[in-house]
Structure formats: C-alpha cells, structure tokens
Amino acid sequence: MPLNARMTSPRDDIALYPARMPWSAIALLLLSLGFALLVGWYVRGRRVRRARRWRLRAAQRVIDRLESGQWTAPQRLSYLRKVEPFVFEELVGLLLSRLGFRMLPSSRYTGDGGIDGRAHWLGRFWLIQVKRYGRHIDWCDVEQFAHTCAVQHAIGLFVHTGRTGAAAYAALSRHVILVSGERLLQLFETDPERQAATIAWMRQQAQRTVA
C-alpha cells in the first residue's frame, strides 16, 4: 500500500456520497409548490374581480350623474376628463353595451397595443381604444391604433375626451371611427329616438370602414 494512502471508513463513504432525496419527499415538495401557486392565482383573481366590480359601480355612478340633465355639454366633458382612466374605460364599455355591442371579456387594461376593449357588433369584430385627454389627442396614438386594427382585420373605435387636430384626422385611415365631443355625449342618451339616431350614425360609419 502506498505510504500516502489512507484507509476509508463507511462514514467517509457517506460523506462523499450523500443520500438522495426519496421520491416521496420530491412529490410532496412539488405538491406543496403547486398548491402555493394555485392559492396565489386564486387570491390574485379575487383581487382583480373585486377591483373590476368597484370600477363598474363607479362607472355606473358617473353615467347616472351625467344623465341627470343638470349639466351643460362643456361641463359634462370637463367632468369626464377627471374620471379615473380605468373607470372611464368601463364607462365606455357600459355605454356601448346599451347600443347593442357584445363586449368580450378582457384580462388586462394596459400594455396591449392600445387596445382597451374588444366587441362584436353588426356581425363584425371591433377594437376599442379609450383615451382621457385634456387637450389635443396625440396623432401617433391614432396611427398606431389604426395599424393594429388593420392587422387584426377589425373596425376601430377611438373614444376620447380631448380635441382632434388635423394630424389626428389624417391618421384615422378607413379602419377607425372617431368618437369625441358631442358624439361622445350622445352615447349617454336614453331617449329611444336619440339613441336610435346614434346607432344609425354608428352603422353608417361602420359601412365606410375597411376591416
């Protein structure tokens, strides 16, 4: 035996080759991890649903207030510019539903190429973008939205509270319908004749679009 060699004991072998984790322990660890992920997903889902219920109630309160008939058109637009952005999105969805739009469920509100809503109406697919502007709208937003509508073969509905300049009108293309100012306030109409006039205008605009 070489002089520098040393005898190894069973304990040394245990130190060199640690025992493997039993399959039962691995399975238990994976189950615990899956359960934690499931609980996290459930809790997050409850928070999202609770937040959306709050936004829907807030949006309905805004609609009720603006339908009271106590404010002038400039006052109503000024009030809409102060509404919380996500509440304003829900508000537009509720108003479009009254016109017959079948709003599709959405799991996110921002970061989706400017798409705030999706719907079916008149047998066609619609994309909706809602902007709460205080001044002139950014024509780049309109141009990007028009491009998204063209790619997805959809009619675009660009709803905003600001002012529309010449550059924004030039960026509309034949894929997007613009709703602002007086047209936006007409969505709040509850009178059957006036509501029918709004629907007729929307139908006319839809016929000129290219999806």
Residue 107: per-residue pLDDT: 57
Residue 19: per-residue pLDDT: 57
Helix residue spans in 164-191 (DSSP H): 166-170, 181-186
Q: From CA 155, how far away is CA 164, in angstroms rounded?
A: 19
Residue 139: per-residue pLDDT: 86
Q: Please report, as a single letter, which amino acid is at residue 202.
A: M
Q: From CA 171, how far away is CA 164, in angstroms rounded?
A: 11
Backbone phi and psi for residue 127, each to the nearest 5 degrees, phi listed first: -115, 140
Task: Assess contact for 118 and 125: CB atoms under 8 A.
Answer: yes
Contacts of 147 (CB under 8 A, 6+ apart): none
Q: From CA 23, how far away is CA 7, in angstroms rounded?
A: 33
Residue-by-residue pLDDT tens, the chain, 211 positions: 554 555 555 555 445 545 566 777 777 777 777 767 776 666 666 777 888 899 999 999 999 999 888 889 999 999 999 999 999 999 999 999 999 999 998 755 444 556 999 999 999 999 999 998 888 888 888 889 999 999 999 999 999 998 888 877 777 778 899 999 999 999 998 888 999 999 999 999 998 887 5
Residue 14: per-residue pLDDT: 47
